[in-house]
Amino acid sequence: MANPVFNNSPVFADPRQQRRGGRPAPSAPTFGGPTVDAASLEAMYDGPTATTRDTGRLTYDDVIIKTGGLLALLVAVAAVTWFVAPGLYIVGAIVGLVLGLVNAFKRKPSPALIVAYTVAEGVFLGGISYVFQNRPIGNLVADAQPIVLQAVLATVATFVASLWLYRSGRVRVTAKSTRFLLIAMIGYALFSLVNVVLMWVLPSTEMFGPLRSGPIGIIVGLFAVGLAAFSLIVDFDAIKRGVEQGAPKSFAWTAAFGLIVTLVWLYLEFLRLFAIFSSSD
């Protein structure tokens, strides 16, 4: 599993990976307590069947509601930041990074910290989107093309397409594919680090660094979009596992947080990609 949010949560973990790592597979539940008489048993059998909601277990509806709420908050904060204080995106980036790491490695979800992370990311995305949309190109300003709108629409379309591919069974998550995703993401992270170092060392007028501009930047951007899209599919598989394994309802916050992390990454890659396209026009 590539997303650290799901990878560090035992309720979303793949049992096959747990056994390979030396941890025991989940055991069958045991029951204990006082003996129930015949009358009580008959009343229980005659009553309605308990659902996952009745037993306090995770459901897809819980994940959808939490994810939708966090997305609405993210968009609202980003819009306010765009119009009021876009320069705060650096603060949002730092706070979001810290809170993202804290939430990713917490064993139990903290709704307050997840909401705080969403607010910080909203500040970051609102400000960085403003900077990208209004960046200078020569003597002009790059507001002729609505790259922010393009990035939003592309992110939504990719999310829907990834969900459809997963639900239809056309793309399956296997141990081999998740290992490939992990290796590819590590390689991409190292590549990005090298690009940042080169931006500091080599004088350049390129906004995204020497390795993320021009034709090379387009190829790398498309590769990164593909990684983020497949990461979404892996996230869907982890959520499905959590529901089927009877994860506690509170872990809907973890699932929503994991999806927000991947969607933010996907949006940023699209934003950079469309910015490169508009710069080459």
175-203, pLDDT tens digit by residue?
A: 999 999 999 999 999 999 998 888 888 76
Residue 281's CB: how many other CB atoms inside 10 A?
8
- Choice between 178 and 16, residue whose per-residue pLDDT is larger: 178
Q: How confident is the model at residue 31 (pLDDT cuts 50, 70, 90)?
A: very low
Predicted pLDDT at 7: 73
Residue 164's CB: how many other CB atoms inside 10 A?
11
Element (H, E) at 141: strand 140-141
- Choice between 233 and 139, residue whose per-residue pLDDT is larger: 233
Measured distance CA(81)–CA(122) in Å, rounded: 8
Task: Kindly report the average pLDDT of the chain as a whole number.
Answer: 84
Q: Taking 60 as the threshold, does the pLDDT of residue 44 lie above it?
A: no
State how beta strands 140-141 and 136-137 pair.
antiparallel
Asked whether 109 and 257 are in contact (CB, 8 A), the reply is yes
pLDDT digits (tens, 9 = 90+) for 62-88: 999 999 999 999 999 999 999 999 999
Cα-to-chain-centroid distance, residue 207 = 25
Residues 159-173 have a mean pLDDT of: 95
CA neighbor of 74 nearest in space, from 155, 139, 138? 155
DSSP letter, residue 250: G
Alpha helices of the chain — where are they, by DSSP H? 4-7, 15-20, 38-46, 60-84, 89-104, 111-133, 147-167, 175-201, 214-244, 252-279
Q: Taking 60 as the threshold, does the pLDDT of residue 46 lie above it?
A: no
- Choice between 61 and 213, residue whose per-residue pLDDT is larger: 61
Measured distance CA(71)–CA(257) in Å, rounded: 10
Q: How confident is the model at residue 101 (pLDDT cuts 50, 70, 90)?
A: very high
CA neighbor of 155 nearest in space, from 262, 3, 252? 262
Q: Which residues contact 261 (CB under 8 A, 6 or more apart)?
A: 3, 5, 100, 104
Weakest mean pLDDT among 51-65, 157-171, 224-238: 51-65
Predicted pLDDT at 135: 77
Predicted pLDDT at 160: 97
Predicted pLDDT at 143: 52
- Choice between 169 and 11, residue whose per-residue pLDDT is larger: 169
Q: Taking 60 as the threshold, does the pLDDT of residue 89 lie above it?
A: yes
Q: Taking 50 as the threshold, does the pLDDT of residue 40 lie above it?
A: no
Q: Taking 50 as the threshold, does the pLDDT of residue 147 lie above it?
A: yes
Measured distance CA(270)–CA(148) in Å, rounded: 9
